[in-house]
Structure 1
Amino acid sequence: MNLLEHCLIPDWPAPKNVRTLQTTRNGGISAAPYDTLNLSSNVGDAPLAVARNRMLLEPMLPSEPVWLKQVHGVAVADAARAECWPEADACVSTHPGAVCVVMTADCLPVLLCNDKGSVVSAVHAGWRGLCDGVIEHAVHAMGMSSNTLMAWLGPAIGVQAFEVGDEVRAEFVAKDPQAVAAFVPGTSGKWFTDIYQLAGLRLNALGVTRVYGGGLCTYTDSANFFSYRRDSVTGRMGTFIWLDK
């Protein structure tokens, strides 16, 4: 089985030694509703199926990824020093061969690297973490001038499917008045939300102006992506980044 043909390679001008991989829902062995390449061991899938799916990734990765216990927070783990399952929603690496990964099924995965290819980061940006500053914490942990950084936004729930309440919009706007542009009126006090735009605003405010990707909707593309909001019980995709050894 050639798993790579079922994955996406981010299209961005990262240095050649910065390696990336975005899985889809296809190419694994998990049964419905986790069909087929579920990488999460915390969603009810058979443990042996998850283990086998992760093994399928081994030929494409230089080492075992640092799998995070994601909690919609802002903590950042160091891929070269983290112990098993650190509680964090972002991971940073300056060590060649150490693999950062975040898992998503509607939340926004963000990859970051610098121009010299000496530091990389993967960020799990659900609305809560995004609002509270997980991207800012990841950029700070990278320890580089923001104008040397670039970002790639992976598959996430699209604006036409992501409806939130007044309280979510109010939290974003309170922290950044420009965020009002990312919300379109929905029904009964709800708002359709552009999570890509919200992430872009945060990145731009940090000085990270080179932002690529976005536009792949997990909710509407059921053939390729898991979506928690669409299916409730479902798998998780992985977004990986590392420095070549």
Structure 2
Amino acid sequence: MTVVEVVRSSLLGDVAHGFLGRAGGVSQGIVAGLNVGLGSGDDPEHIAENRRRAVTAVAPGSRLATVYQVHSADCVTVAEPWPDDARPHADALVTDRPGLALGILTADCAPVLFADRKAGVIGAAHAGWKGAIGGITDTTIAAMERLGADRSRIAAAVGPCIAQQSYEVDEAFRDRFLAQDAAHTRFFVPGMPERWQFDLEGYVVARLRGAGLTRVEGLGLDTYAAPERFFSFRRATHAREPSYGRQIALIALA
């Protein structure tokens, strides 16, 4: 059996966490590997087993909590996991409860894991471009502070996501970011005619630092360019595949 690959951030220290990819799962076909996406059309038993393996690899014995992700800036506070069919519509979770594994699913969007070790507060956010520009990382930090965290202590890591060299966007996309702040031009470099390459990870890292976090790390892993390692929505779209897998990022308190 292939071992589940767990990518960790040195900034999050001994807090149980990990960014996972395709390795170590039971799914087959175009979603082969550790696919955890309930909306992928995969066998539900495979998804359940993949989720079990993911939690076991990162935080054995923890109970998994995820949300129905909608590219929003909404964050929920978790006290107990909810059934899969009752997941709240949101794009981030925070908790101060031991034994809960907060999970964020991605397939090119940026997963962000947060921890204030002293306060015993953690968070996880799904930062696609819509959520990122909408302030999902800001609302996550604010929700952590309501649980007793202090942003001067919060560490954050941005996991595998689509990299600038793989992320082509049009003028209208770029204009949205420049309308927010003209300085955001630094996250775009020219590509094909009337096209730009967008640095999602760089933008998310900048948002985190702009919110007052001093301990921020971007792992620099491109989901699009590593088909054997990560799922990618854009790669699947370019290949005209009927579906795509999702990987998971997890964080938990002991």
TM-score by length of 1: 0.92
Instruction: Name the residue aligned to 1:39.
Output: 36
Q: State whether structure 2 residue 250 is matched by structure 1 residue 240.
A: yes
Does 1:200 find its partner at 2:199? no
Matching residue's letter, 2:253: L
Could you tell me which residue of structure 2 aligns to residue 57 of structure 1? 54
Structure 2 gaps, min length 5: 238-242
Contact 1:10-1:213 at 8 Å conserved across structures: no
> Who is 1:184 aligned against?
189
AA paired with 1:77? V
Asked if the contact 1:184–1:193 (Cα under 8 Å) also holds between the matched residues in 2, the reply is yes
Residues 131-170 of structure 1: pairs in structure 2 closer than 5 A: 131-143=133-145, 144-170=149-175
Structure 1 residue 117 displacement after superposition:
5.1
| Residue equivalent to 2:5 | 7
Shift of 1:48: 1.8
How far off is 1:9 after superposition?
A: 3.3
Contact map agreement 2:79 2:95 (CA 8 A) in 1: yes
Quote the offset at 1:58 in angstroms: 4.6
**By how many angstroms is 1:55 displaced?**
2.6
Mapped partners of 2:210, 2:11: distance in 1:
21
Count matched residues.
241
Q: Distance in 1 between matches of 2:208 and 2:70?
A: 21
Matched, 1:73 2:83: no
- The counterpart of 1:27, out of the listed 17, 24, 46, is 24
AA aligned to 1:51 is A
Range with bigger deviation, 80-89 or 29-38: 80-89
Q: Secondary structure at the match of 1:122?
A: strand
Unaligned runs of at least 5 residues, structure 1: none
Change (3 A) 1:202 1:69: same
Mean CA deviation greater in 111-120 or 74-83: 74-83
In structure 2, distance between residues paired with 1:55 and 1:147 = 34
Partner residue in 2 for 1:212: 217
Deviations along 1:70-97, one digit per CA (max 9) or x if unpaired, are: 0000111222146331111001011111
Contact 2:4 2:25 in 1 (8 A): no
Q: Which residue does 1:124 correspond to in 2?
A: 126
* Preserved CA contact (<8 Å) 1:93 1:99: no
* Contact 2:166 2:224 (C-alpha < 8 Å) held by counterparts: yes
Instruction: Find the aligned partners of 2:63 and 2:49 in 1 and give their Cα distance.
Output: 13
138-147 or 172-181: bigger deviation: 172-181
Aligned counterparts of 1:108 and 1:58: Cα–Cα separation in 2: 20
Give 1:189 shift. Answer: 1.7
Whether the 8 Å CA contact 2:62–2:252 is kept in 1: the answer is no
Question: TM-score if structure 2 supplies the norm length?
Answer: 0.89
Asked if structure 2 preserves the Cα contact closer than 8 Å seen for 1:152 and 1:214, the reply is yes
Letter matched to residue 187 of structure 1: M
1:125 maps to a residue whose letter is A
Distance 2:81 2:181 in 1: 32
Which amino acid in 2 is paired with 1:76? C
1:88 maps to which residue? 90
Aligned residue identity for 1:108? A
Give, as a single letter, the amino acid of the residue that structure 2 aligns with 1:45.
Answer: D
The answer for the alignment partner of 2:111 in structure 1 is: 109
